[in-house]
Every structure is written in structure tokens, then in C-alpha cells.
Amino acid sequence: MPVSDSTQVLLTRWTGRVRDAGGTSKAAREQWIKAQTPRRHVRTALESMTRGAVRCMYCDDSRGTDIDHFQPLENAPLRAFEWSNHLLACSYCNSNAKRSQYPVNADGVCLLVDPSAEDPADHLQLLLESGLYDPVDKSPRGEETIRVFGLNRPDLVKGRQDAFFRACSNMRDWHRLHQSADPLTDRLAQALLDSPFIDVVHAMTRLKPGAAAIVVGQATVPALDAWRAAHSLSFRVGQPRVCGGAADANCINGVVDGTVADDDHSYQGRAGGRSNDAPVITMQNYGLTWTDPTGTPRASAVAYDKPSAQDRKADLESVGCTSVEIVAVRPGELPEPRG
């Protein structure tokens, strides 16, 4: 999701100020401190893309309080006001973990996974039971990303372990509601998708069938299979994801908010890509409206791909819901109940 034309004009103007002031890191920092209006525009745009309670795009645990320059001002002062160089981070990830680190290889290519332009799961995998991240096939970029962003610091590891336990329980509860087409099904799904460490849920959906029973337990496998069908994952180029969500998703690793969906997949994560020039796949989301057996108008609290919306419609009708309609919606939007 590119920023508005007016915001882009504003950012371009302030880039010019950095250049006119000498184009140095000192000039970039001084101009950034002065630029209250551009910072407000950037923060508003970034907050609109974060998950849940405006979570940090690196750890997906704490609240995102700081605007971080992915490539630090020391390395690229003229990118100080470049929209694609901004991410929302918590103060710990920004000031204690990443700071001004920006490792490159012998050819000068950055060794950090760019969560706004690639799928972190290509380089990072989450070990669900331990809560630790490992680099995929000893990927140097995976190793550096884990190190620089502190993805395996103790508080995050403990948080993922707890999140895994809760996710298994919540998924089983969701499955029971889903089977009975309970109106609370969508609300529980959204609560799970908005919870901290959504990378845990996405990592669960990536488990191979043979490993699922061993990792999540046989009792959770039916719920996980149903969850995959309703909330399967697809990656959108240009979609900001989360660092602590690497194994699938929303931080540098991959998590994103909102839902991006097409006829085969729906991506639950942080809404909206943020690259101005990255290729974007056009996708269509669907919601549902219906009247439950008590006569109360209802609407889905999450978006679906088309096959999943059709399945949900059949489930609702099977338990006596009437006027069930599938409604096309934009990414990040949901239908209103029709009374």
C-alpha cells in the first residue's frame, strides 16, 4: 500500500532538504528531528498496517512506538524520508536490538531480510516447541536477521512458547464453534489473528501433515486442518511482515495484518504492503452477512477467500441461518450486518 500522493510529495520535499543540507547522516538526523508533520504522516500510515494493538513489526510482541529506518541514516542519509525505508518498532527492538546495525556481504548486499519486499520464511524457520528461530539451510541472511533483531532473546522465546500452547487450545475452541456455525466463530478467529506472536499460528499452518500430529498433538490436528482451509496463507510482494514472525510471518519474519485473499488463499496478517514500486498481486476478499436463528443480523469478523466463504455459507445455512450472502470486500474492510 503506497502512501497518499500528498504524503509522498511531503517526503520528497524533505529529502530535498537533506540533500541541500549536505546529504550527510548528520544533516539527515537533524532534518528528521525537525520533520514533525512528515513523521506524523509516516506513523499514521505504518499504524494502519500493523496488527492487533499496533504491534512492533520486528518482534510482534510489544507496541510499536518508534519509526525505524530499516537502512540506518548512517548508511543512507538520503533514505531518511523514503517511505519504503520505514518500519514501526518498539523502543527495545529499535534502540537496544537493531540500533544502527546493517550488515552487508562482500558485494555490499544487505544481509537482513527486508520484511516489506520478500517472504522471511525463505530464510527463517520457527521451531514451535522451543520457541526459537533457526536460519533455513544455514542461510547467512537468516543468521544475521536473527542476530541483529534479537529474535531469540529470552522474553520472545518464552512468549512464543506460551503463544503456541494458547494457539493449540484456541484453535480447538475455534474448530468446535466452526463445526456448529456459531456466530462467535469469526470473532474468535480474529482474536487469535490479532494476538501477539502470530508467527506461531502461521508456523503451525506450514507444518507438513506427517509432522503436525507430533508437534501440535493428535487432538489439535483436525482443528489445524480446518484452520488451514479457512485461513490459509499466501505472500504478497510488497507486504510488510513481521520479524518475530519469520516462520511464516508478520515481522521481519513475516506477519502482516488484515487479510489479503484470492480464490485459493487468504493471508491473515498486517494489512497493506508499503512499497511504492513493488509488484502487487490483485486479490479479492469476501465477507458474509446473515440472520441467525434468533433473528439477529450478523456479519463475519474476518475475510475469506471465495471457496472458504462458500463453505462458511453452507455451514451457516445448515444450522438454520437465513439470508446468508457472500459480499465482496476490500482488503482491511468487513461487511456490516444487514437488519
Domain ends where: 76, 98, 120? Answer: 98
Q: Containing domain of residue 305, as a range? A: 285-329
What's residue 232's pLDDT?
60
Does residue 62 form part of some domain?
Answer: yes
Residue 244 pLDDT = 56
Helices and strands in the chain: count of H runs, count of E runs? 11, 9
Q: Which residues contact 23 (CB under 8 A, 6 or more apart)?
A: 77, 78
DSSP state of 103: -
**What pLDDT, in 10s, does the model give residues 224-261?**
999 988 876 443 333 444 555 433 333 333 332 232 22
Provide CB contacts within 8 A for 130, sequence distance 6+.
157, 161
Does residue 54 belong to any structural domain of this protein?
yes
Q: How confident is the model at residue 284 (pLDDT cuts 50, 70, 90)?
A: low
pLDDT band at 286 (very low <50, low <70, confident <90, very high): confident
| 104 in a structural domain | no
Tens digits of residue pLDDT in 296-334: 888 886 667 777 778 788 878 887 889 999 988 875 567
Answer yes or no: is 260 within a domain: no
Q: What is the pTM of this model?
A: 0.71
Within a domain: residue 250?
no
**Which pLDDT score is estimated for 267?**
28
Q: Are the C-beta atoms of residues 199 and 126 closer than 8 Å to each other?
A: yes
- Residue at 67 is within a domain: yes
Which of 54, 75, 98 corresponds to the end of one domain?
98
Q: What are phi and psi of 264, to 5 degrees?
A: -115, -25
Q: Is residue 210 in a domain?
A: no
Tell me: pLDDT of 337 over 50.
Answer: yes
Question: Is residue 279 situated within a structural domain?
Answer: no
Kindly report the three-state secondary structure assignment for every residue of 74-98.
CCCHHHCCCHHHEEEECHHHHHHHH
Q: How confident is the model at residue 123 (pLDDT cuts 50, 70, 90)?
A: very high
Q: Which of 79, 98, 117 is the last residue of a domain?
A: 98
The total of structural domains in the chain comes to: 2
